[in-house]
Amino acid sequence: MPDAIDSTVNSFMANIKQVENELQRDLERLAYKMKDMTDTELLLTAKKLNFLQELVDKGYGKEINNLMDEYDVLLVNAAKEAKKRGIVAMGTETVNALQILKDLDTETLLGRASTWSNEMKKLMFTNIYSGTNINSIVSSMKATELATHQLNVAVNTGLRQFSDLSRYSVFKGADVYWTYVGPQDNRTRPECASTHSNEPSDGYTEKQVNSDTDTPFGVRGGFNCRHSWMIA
């Protein structure tokens, strides 16, 4: 059953697809103009192109900011849960560590946009300069997607890792037990299945999570893992 993180990821991906489609339409119109340029005009135009900035201006930057706001919500929720259980507020070092994680995920998403932008620019310039048929160029441009499954996985992994580490950070060292929550089906990784099936009746202690399982806090089952460590 989809949870709040699934909804956030789906919304982000849908919005990024809209941004991508809008920029793709602009780039297709540009490609038709560039095919009629002289070599000198083509070179000058290529030097001025900044598809990454165009992408950010179209809304990619806004969507990343909105996504990072959801990271803050996850941290606030973890702090609220801790407060209900009498856990003191997080220290400055904890907040700074989680901020670094947010910054790294932001850089990852900007890096994916930069890679896409460079690939698109190279595709357009190389093919137009070499005289490739414009219909083939446009077809290749449409096949060069930003809102891919890989981006979806990266966003989902980042959010779930941050959510997990937020809870771990606020409850670190506290006398609580942890339970491994998530689906158990034919997609479940062996390490996740093992953690679930071997869970003590009261849950795992913090030490046991990191020493007796192959699914430590934050890492869990690895990339795109659907499981989370929750307070039992």
The pLDDT of residue 196: 95
Number of H helices, E strands in the chain: 9, 2
Phi then psi for residue 225, to 5 deg, are: -65, 140
pLDDT at 225 over 80: yes
Contact yes or no for 31/136 (Cβ under 8 A): no
Instruction: Read off the pLDDT of each residue in 3-25 and give the average, rounded to a whole number.
Output: 95
3-state secondary structure 141-165: HHHCCCCCHHHHHHHHHHHHHHHHH
The pLDDT of residue 91: 77
Residue 90 binned pLDDT confidence (cut-offs 50, 70, 90)? confident
Contact yes or no for 99/166 (Cβ under 8 A): no
The pLDDT of residue 1: 59
Full-prediction pTM beyond 0.85?
A: yes
The pLDDT of residue 2: 67
Tell me the two tokens of residue 178: 């942890």
Identity of the residue numbered 221: G
The rounded mean pLDDT for the chain is: 93
The pLDDT of residue 112: 96
Beta bridge partners of 231: 178
Instruction: Read off the pLDDT of each residue in 212-228 and give the average, rounded to a whole number.
Output: 94
pLDDT digits (tens, 9 = 90+) for 194-208: 999 999 999 999 999
pLDDT digits (tens, 9 = 90+) for 130-147: 999 999 999 999 999 999
pLDDT at 216 over 90: yes
The pLDDT of residue 3: 84
pLDDT at 39 over 80: yes
Instruction: Read off the pLDDT of each residue in 61-65 and give the average, rounded to a whole number.
Output: 97
The pLDDT of residue 86: 85
Of all residues in the chain, what percent carry a pLDDT higher than 90? 87
pLDDT digits (tens, 9 = 90+) for 149-207: 999 999 999 999 999 999 999 999 899 999 999 999 999 999 999 999 999 999 999 99
